[in-house]
């Protein structure tokens, strides 16, 4: 489990296709301080397993489903990625509960400068995810915990503060960029409970 508070911007060294899926190598430093072989790591909000750890990088294998559902397939050498280690029992939950299980990708519609380093980000998301989103609720965009400020049909609007713009991949996003979307898992559980307690009439 993660919180959506990005710890470091890593740099992709290689995305190597395989017969099934691909292998990703990322250069980084901060997250390596206690990263161990087989541990979880979130890359752009996708929960992966860290392997091949060196003094300045780690490797992760990407399953075909991961490539199909996320924007990791768009990566190339030099791409920047958001990195976060999983929470511990002593970690403050500063963002919200993020599983690292990306639901789909969205597309950046616009990024408008609000002044003093703040931006208004609008992302078009798949219509099927609309029912899990509420104003002032949480959403993870490329693994970043953000608060939904506006919803208009399939367009979600969020305010991005200066720190987030400079310390995450949103600083290089532009209209047309694909971003990973993970909705609040609690909303999914509530939906299932409601449906199961109110079965359709036969």
pLDDT confidence band for 193 (50 / 70 / 90)? confident
Catalytic residues: 2, 40, 47, 49, 63, 101, 147
Number of domains in the chain: 2
User: Residue 200 — very low, low, confident or very high, per pLDDT cuts 50/70/90?
Assistant: low
Q: Are residues 120 and 188 in the same domain?
A: yes
Q: What is the CATH number of the domain that holds 124?
A: 2.40.30.20
The strand ranges marked E within the chain are 8-17, 22-27, 40-43, 46-49, 57-62, 80-84, 104-115, 118-124, 138-141, 144-147, 150-152, 155-160, 178-183
pLDDT, tens digit (0-9, with 9 covering 90-100), for 20-50: 999 999 999 999 999 999 999 999 999 999 9
Q: Kindly give, in sequence order, each residue whose CB lies less than 8 Å from that of residue 9, ignoring residues fewer than 6 positions away.
A: 80, 81, 82, 83, 167, 168, 169
pLDDT tier at 90 (50, 70, 90 boundaries)? confident
Assess if residue 120 is contained within a domain: yes
**Domain contains 92:** no
Which of 93-97, 121-125, 133-137 is most confident?
Answer: 121-125
pTM given for the model:
0.91
Is position 20 within any domain? yes
Residues 75, 118 share a domain: no
Same domain, 65 and 123: no
- Do residues 70 and 110 both lie within one domain? no
Task: Show the domain range for 125.
Answer: 104-192
Residue 3 lies inside a defined structural domain of this protein: no
């Amino acid at each position: 489990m993660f919180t959506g508070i990005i710890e470091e911007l890593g740099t992709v060294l290689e995305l190597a296709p395989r017969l099934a899926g691909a292998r990703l190598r990322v250069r980084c430093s901060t997250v390596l301080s206690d990263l161990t072989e087989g541990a979880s790591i979130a890359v752009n909000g996708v929960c992966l397993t860290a392997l091949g750890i060196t003094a300045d990088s780690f490797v992760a294998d990407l399953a075909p489903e991961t490539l199909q559902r996320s924007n990791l397939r768009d990566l190339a050498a030099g791409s920047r990625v958001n990195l976060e280690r999983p929470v511990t029992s002593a970690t403050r939950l500063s963002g919200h509960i993020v599983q690292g299980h990306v639901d789909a990708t969205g597309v950046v519609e616009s990024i408008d400068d609000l002044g003093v380093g703040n931006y208004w980000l609008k992302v078009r998301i798949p219509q099927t995810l609309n029912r899990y989103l509420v104003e002032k609720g949480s959403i993870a965009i490329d693994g970043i915990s953000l608060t939904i400020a506006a919803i208009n049909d399939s367009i979600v609007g969020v305010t991005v503060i200066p720190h987030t713009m400079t310390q995450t991949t949103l600083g290089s996003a532009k209209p047309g960029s694909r971003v990973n979307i993970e909705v609040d898992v609690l909303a999914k559980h509530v939906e299932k409970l409601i449906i199961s307690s109110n079965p359709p009439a036969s």
